Chain A
Amino acid sequence: MATTHAKSGNSIGRIVLYTLLVFFCIYYLLPLYVMLVNSLKPLSEITAGGMMALPQEWTIAPWLSAWSSAQVGVEATGLRPYFLNSIIMVVPAVALSTIVGALNGYVLTKWPFRGATILFGLLLFGCFIPFQMVLIPMARMLGLMGLAGSVPGLIFVHFVYGIGFSTLYFRNYYAAFPTELVRAAQIDGAGFFRIFWRILLPSSGPIAVVCIIWQFTNIWNDFLFGASFSDFDSQPMTVALNNLVQSSTGVKEYNVHFAGAIMAALPTLLVYIVAGRYFVRGLMAGSVKG
């Protein structure tokens, strides 16, 4: 009696729990749904009301427009050039900050020197400096380096800003990496870079994925640096999206805006879908002994 009672109480609890979870899930995914359906209907259907309804007439015209012909800022280029700007900004910035972070982690854990702890502390501190504080000094620096208003300038900014976090990730990961392996490789005759390349890097997959996802998401989604340090021809996707939404003359083409917004979100989404499994695994690594 008592057990069946407990069991039914348990299953009622479960039903409530799952209902709540499904509810929150729908609630959370609702904006995506709204964006998706409205990007696939003609503007007239949106202005007639019924944001939630499925399209009566399905069309990909808003997508094509957002990609290649919509008015962004002063020119009707669509988002394509800015998407490319973002790609050529984010790939080197992520690659550089990840590589340098990995090297830093390697040196800090396996070749410690006087002041290594202090240096690491400063790098960590760098992670938590608010973006706004560096705007003016960074603008001045970029000017002095001749990189102001250019994509390489943005790469530089994101690269430098990313080092703190990528170092943190790799340092903590390599701290658990057996130092005896490095010593064995030293005796075997491998040098500084060879040990890094042949011994540490092949075992760094999980943390590299975590670092890459983190950096990619942050750099791709960044608006402040993009808005502050770019010119018309070097703006990243986020800034261009803002311009697209702001600059439409006459009627606001909501369906095009929605399509543009999804385009801006797509790469990060893709990275999560492709590498998400490794992301969780990488975050767990070290906490669970393999």
Chain B
Amino acid sequence: MGFLDIKQATKSYGAVQVLHETDISIEEGEFLVLVGPSGCGKSTLLNMIAGLENITSGEIAIRGKSMNGVKPADRNIAMVFQSYALYPNMTVSGNISFGMEMHGIEKSEREKRISQVSDLLQIKHLLDRKPGQLSGGQRQRVAMGRALVREPDVFLFDEPLSNLDAKLRVDMRTEIKKLHQKLGTTIVYVTHDQIEALTLSTRIAVMFGGYVQQLGTPKEIYDNPANMFVAGFMGSPSMNLFPAKVVSENGQSAAEVSLANGTKASIPFATEELASDVGRDIILGIRPEAITDRDGADRNSQAVHIVEAPVEVTEPAGSDTFVVSQIGGKDVTGRFRADVAVNAGDTFPFAFNMEKAVAFDPQSENRIA
């Protein structure tokens, strides 16, 4: 039993089930990110934890106590919304103190806590302003202050950074991470941005179509995606997924792929997991950073294999150059060092680090190796 337990929780609107049976157990102090494309049910699940949506079946418990039927105000949670949801008619300090006032906390204590939180978030000079007089970043801070001051068991964030411009978003991301390290409060955080998920979380739940596709640490999710959806969704640029066939070559199992010039190449696997599947069609998954120029390959890897492949496009990106080749009819991107002389139309050696390769079943899209 964890600190926050989601047990077989589901949500339906009428006949439409938007959240299928979900089990997540969160430990105290964890930073869980729910990530997935728009409409996958992240906010719904978060609102169920908050008590803003009732759950259709199953149970949600905090500190071992069932929260089914408990009002949002009595769950000892605080929430930061995407629109910040600051009360427009109240000042910043009014906004921060409203929740404490509703919970019957005395004025002197309220003022003490407002002062602490506004110091922490550096919003002291804004306390007498109305939300309309604040910039986006300042509103964001106030919204966090309103949540922090409640000293809740669990913080819930619903896409708190998506209304900020790119630079501010990165800064606030760092600040949220620092705050979490400093306060150690349990956080459930919703975002559609996979980079936010990877940078902030201690664990990630990748959601799609009302299902939790995979639950794991950022490293597990990134290195060992459970299916093709997770593989394609997490990471930027995303993982290359292209058709291949399992063959046996020199007593070793290998992936046979077709190149744009009509030839076939076979790339030996790092393990023999697929040795019994010779002849099987698979989808090979390999991240751009595991396809490099020869000298850029990972020196610690035991399974780097060179494939001479025609270069279709090169995309210099400053620190690296992304090099695209057609493999198995798909655009496959490799991440080369910026100073490698490679041009479109060349046939060039691509170094595949097969230790990082994964394989999926083309029909079920599930991971097989």
Interfacial residues, chain A to chain B (CB-CB below 8 A): 178, 180-181, 183-190, 194, 198-199, 202-203
Q: Is the CB of B73 within 8 A of A186?
A: yes
Given the known inter-chain contacts A187-B50, A187-B77, please indicate yes or no for A181 contacting B99, CB distance below 8 A. no
In this complex, the member of B73, B79, B102 whose beta carbon has the largest number of chain A beta carbons within 10 angstroms is B102
- Closest Cβ of chain B to A141, distance in Å, is 38
Q: Which of A186, A188, A202 contacts B89 (CB 8 A)?
A: A202
Write the chain A residue with the least CB distance to B98: A188
Is B103 part of the contact surface with A, judged by Cβ < 8 Å? Answer: yes
Which residue from chain A places its CB closest to the CB of B47 in the assembled complex? A183
Assess the B99–A189 pair: CB atoms within 8 A. yes
Rounded to whole angstroms, the CA-CA distance of A190 and B72 in the bound complex is 10
If A183-B52, A202-B89 touch, whether A189 touches B73 (CB-CB below 8 Å) is yes
Set of chain B residues within 8 Å of A189, measured between Cβ atoms: 73, 99, 102-103
Which of B80-88, B171-179, B186-194 lines the interface with chain A?
Answer: B80-88
Q: Take A189-B102, A189-B103 as given contacts and tell me if A184 and B73 are in contact as well, using a CB distance cutoff of 8 Å.
A: no
Kindly report which residue of chain A lies nearest to residue B71, judged by CB atoms.
A186
B51 to chain A, nearest CB (A): 8
Q: Across the interface, name the chain B residue whose C-beta is closest to A188.
A: B99
Q: How far is the CA of A189 from the CA of B73 in the complex (A)?
A: 4
Q: How many A-B contacts at CB < 8 Å in the complex?
A: 55
A187-B78, A188-B98, A189-B99 given; A181·B85 CB < 8 A: yes
Contact B98 A203 (CB under 8 A): no
49-100 of chain B: CB within 8 A of chain A: 50, 52, 71-73, 77-79, 81-83, 85, 87-89, 98-99
A81 to B88, CA, bound (A): 45
Distance of A178 Cα from B88 Cα, bound (Å): 11
Which among B77, B85, B99, B103 is the interface contact of A178 at CB below 8 angstroms? B85
Q: Quick one: closest B residue to A177, CB to CB? A: B88
Cα(A178)–Cα(B52), bound, Å: 15
Separation in Å of the A204 CB from the closest CB of chain B? 10
A205 closest partner in B (C-beta): B89
A185–B72 Cα gap in the complex (Å)? 10
Contact A185 B87 (CB under 8 A): yes
Chain A residues with CB under 8 A of B88: 181, 203
Q: Which of B16-42 contact A (CB under 8 A)?
A: none
User: Min CB distance, A113 to chain B, in Å?
Assistant: 13
**B80 CB, min distance to chain A CBs, angstroms:** 9
Q: How far is the CB of A160 from chain B (nearest CB, A)?
A: 31
Minimum CB distance partner of A201 in chain B: B89
CB distance from A30 to the nearest CB of B (A): 45
Residue of A180, A183, A188 near B102 (CB, 8 A) is A188
7 A-B pairs closest in CB distance: A189-B102, A188-B99, A189-B73, A202-B89, A180-B85, A184-B85, A180-B81
- B-side interface residues toward A, CB under 8 Å? 47, 50, 52, 71-73, 77-79, 81-83, 85, 87-89, 98-99, 102-103, 146
Give complex CA distance A47, B99 in Å: 72
CA distance A29 to B295 in the complex (A): 91
Residues of A within 8 A of B89 (CB): 199, 202-203
The smallest C-beta distance from B249 to any residue of chain A, in angstroms, reads 59
Q: How far is the CB of A200 from the nearest CB of chain B, in Å?
A: 9
Contact with A187, one of B52, B82, B83 (Cβ below 8 angstroms): B52
Picked from A186, A199, A202, the residue with its CB within 8 Å of the CB of B72 is A186
Contact between B73 and A187, CB atoms less than 8 A apart: yes
Q: Which residues of B are found within 8 Å of A186, using beta-carbon distances? A: 52, 71-73
Q: Residue on B with the closest CB to A194?
A: B102
Q: How far is the CB of A286 from chain B (nearest CB, A)?
A: 15
A187–B154 CA distance with the chains assembled, in angstroms: 12
* B363 CB → nearest A CB, Å: 42
- Tell me the minimal C-beta distance from B71 to chain A in angstroms: 8
**Whole-angstrom distance between the alpha carbons of A181 and B50 in the complex?**
14
Cα A180 to Cα B50 with chains together (Å): 13
Report A-chain residues with C-beta under 8 Å of the C-beta of B87.
181, 184-185, 198-199
From residue A278, how far is it (CB to closest CB) to chain B in Å? 16
20 additional contacts, CB 8 Å, given A189-B73, A190-B73? A183-B47, A183-B52, A183-B72, A183-B81, A183-B85, A184-B81, A184-B85, A184-B87, A185-B98, A186-B72, A187-B50, A187-B78, A187-B99, A188-B73, A188-B98, A188-B99, A188-B102, A189-B99, A190-B102, A198-B98
CB contacts (< 8 Å) of A187 on chain B: these are 50, 52, 72-73, 77-79, 99
Interchain CA distance A190-B102 in the complex, whole Å: 6
User: Can you list 18 A-B contacts with CB-CB less than 8 angstroms, sorted by A residue number?
Assistant: A178-B85, A181-B87, A183-B50, A183-B72, A184-B85, A184-B146, A186-B52, A186-B72, A187-B52, A187-B72, A187-B77, A187-B79, A188-B99, A188-B146, A189-B73, A189-B103, A194-B102, A202-B89
A181 to B95, CA, bound (A): 11
Closest residue on chain B to residue A186 by CB atoms: B72
How far, in whole Å, are A26 and B78 apart by their CA atoms in the complex?
62
- CB-CB under 8 A from B71, the residues of chain A are 186
Complex Cα gap A203–B130 (Å): 13
Name the B residues within 8 Å of A185 (CB-CB).
Answer: 87, 98
Q: A190 — which chain B residues lie within 8 A by C-beta?
A: 73, 98, 102
- Residues from chain A with Cβ under 8 Å of B50 in the complex: 183, 187
